[in-house]
Structure 1
Amino acid sequence: MENEFNFNNELAGKIALVTGGSKGAGRAIAERLYMAGATVIITARNKPEDTPFHFISADLSVAKGTDKVVEEVISNYGRLDILVNSLGGSETPGGGFAALNDEDWEETIQTNLLAPVRLDRGFLPQMIERKSGVIIHIASIQGKLPLYDSTLPYAAAKAGLINYSKNLSNEVASKGVRVLTVSPGWIMTKSAERMMERIANSSKTTVQEATQSVMNALGGIPLGRPAKPEEVAELVGFLVSPRAGYLTGTEFVIDGGTIPTI
């Protein structure tokens, strides 16, 4: 991977873990931290074909998966400086509350809320001992702008993550650890591109029209397009850097203006 940009090696010597780092925004974040000089570890269930990063295969929706990651990182590197909890997603059916069972709720909450909680709990002691560390929680604007018809448990889990992140920051800021939340709006990942193609094919419209229909469902995006994964990664790259040393306990929304309120 070529370092196309000069980030002044501001993360040189830092050990960073990015969950869900094999694709989408997680992959872009891992690449951004790598270009800034960090040693990057990524986790996912399946190993990507081409990666320069230390890869740990793990299912973070269960406790033994998070335990495996914590043990392997500490065993190999002795510490962790930066934790980016990027893993997230929703596979629940549409149709509102009546279409969802306990399993749907439990699986979504495990992946989107409890996985970050367990990883934080695993890595925080050594950060506190060294009085140094940064934790980023990737939430979603659905924590404030839920789409109840299709992602009710996901929105609830992300709202919980935002609240938890703020509470955690209050506890550990005085101990040298910064905790921040990044809440993206719609990101045009490769999977989102494929979804637009499927919508276009099924509705006999163009990909551009399919994309506009999704933006309309969100209430519109004032900037007129979804985010690029690299734009989210750039925000995270700044937040974990020494340049953001006075920032903690804050949620940063990156949504092109989607949320219509203050």
Structure 2
Amino acid sequence: MTKLFDFNNELSDKIALVTGGTKGTGKAIAERLSKAGATVIITARHHPGSMDEKLHFITADLSRPEGNEKLVKEILSSFGRLDILINALGGSETPGGGFAVLNDKDWENTIQTNLLAPVRLDRGFLPQMLERRDGVIIHIASIQGRLPLFDSTLPYAAAKAGLINYSKGLSKEVSPKGVRVLTVSPGWIMTSSATKMMERIAESSETTIEEATQSVMDALGGIPIGKPAQPEDIAEFVGFLVSPRAKYLTGTEYVIDGGTIPTI
């Protein structure tokens, strides 16, 4: 008889870290792994105020090297090991206007958060994973790694392209030693922040939120499935990737964009 997986408890013996786990897609991922039975740690610069009582919060500024070092030390000291690392932290705060308005600080800050933070955390947690020959690392990238938007997020797109490349190289090194490394590249996700942005666009352009949403989809070249993703869509797939059901998957980038990228 075929053995059935218990999806509600398949991660019950695992300890997971989700960076950026206090809001948006990171929060949805953290809650999904917790529901699967994992002990889940989340981190941000500031405490979110209200959060799922099953989650463990550690304050850390991952845009700085010392923040990454602090987080690694606290987790290994308090929990003894880490089985699953989800590098979900990311974002762009650079101004619009193209390359000419971007200075070195804009580039450095974006690369620190979107590329170097995952690199540092991987470096901090991989030794104990390799020693046990067991572990999963997921890098949350973006379709902007392939489909950059130059007006305001060029550094972000470049950092995510670097993350995708780095993730593939890392997988080649550590997969033979028991650690799986994968990349998930979402398209546009309708987080609470995105919803607020649609409200601002609608107000400034005197249109509806639906029309504002369509204008953004048009700027992306269209989303064939007809709508942005929800954070839970990404979280559900990540939950599969870190589970025993995906034990043969490593080194691959998975694009979840509703068909946005128009090429194969």
The TM-score with structure 1 as length reference comes to: 0.97
Q: Residue 184 of structure 2 is aligned with which of 163, 182, 185?
A: 182
Letter in 1 for 2:13: G
Q: Distance in 2 between matches of 1:146 and 1:8?
A: 38
| Deviation by residue 1:79-122 (Cα, 9 ceiling, x = unmatched) | 00000000000000111110100000000000000000000000
Q: How many residues align?
A: 257
1:30 aligns with 2:30: yes
The unaligned stretches of length 5 or more in structure 2 are: 1-5
For 1:31, what is the secondary structure of its paired residue?
A: helix
Q: Distance in 2 between matches of 1:100 and 1:59?
A: 23
Q: Distance in 1 between matches of 2:8 and 2:21?
A: 23
Q: Distance in 1 between matches of 2:7 and 2:201?
A: 39
Deviates more, 1:32-41 or 1:7-16: 7-16
| Deviation by residue 1:110-147 (Cα, 9 ceiling, x = unmatched) | 00000000000000000000000000000000000000
**What's the C-alpha RMSD, in Å, of the aligned pairs?**
0.7
For 2:161, what is the secondary structure of its paired residue?
A: helix
The TM-score with structure 2 as length reference comes to: 0.96
Q: Residue 223 of structure 1 is aligned with which of 219, 222, 225?
A: 225
Letter in 2 for 1:128: L
Percent of pairs identical after alignment? Answer: 78
1:21 aligns with 2:2: no
- Equivalent position of 2:198 in the other structure: 196
- Equivalent position of 2:3 in the other structure: none
- Equivalent position of 2:261 in the other structure: 259
| Deviation (angstroms), 1:8 | 3.3
For 1:89, what is the secondary structure of its paired residue?
A: coil
Q: Distance in 2 between matches of 1:114 and 1:48?
A: 24
For 2:258, what is the secondary structure of its paired residue?
A: coil
Letter in 1 for 2:85: L
Q: Distance in 2 between matches of 1:90 and 1:41?
A: 24
Q: Residue 135 of structure 2 is aligned with which of 133, 136, 139?
A: 133
The unaligned stretches of length 5 or more in structure 1 are: 1-5
Kept in 1: contact 2:8–2:35 (CA 8 A): no
Letter in 1 for 2:45: R
Q: Residue 75 of structure 2 is aligned with which of 62, 73, 76?
A: 73
Q: Distance in 2 between matches of 1:47 and 1:247?
A: 34
Q: Distance in 1 between matches of 2:49 and 2:36?
A: 23
| Deviation by residue 1:229-249 (Cα, 9 ceiling, x = unmatched) | 000000100000000000000
For 1:149, what is the secondary structure of its paired residue?
A: coil
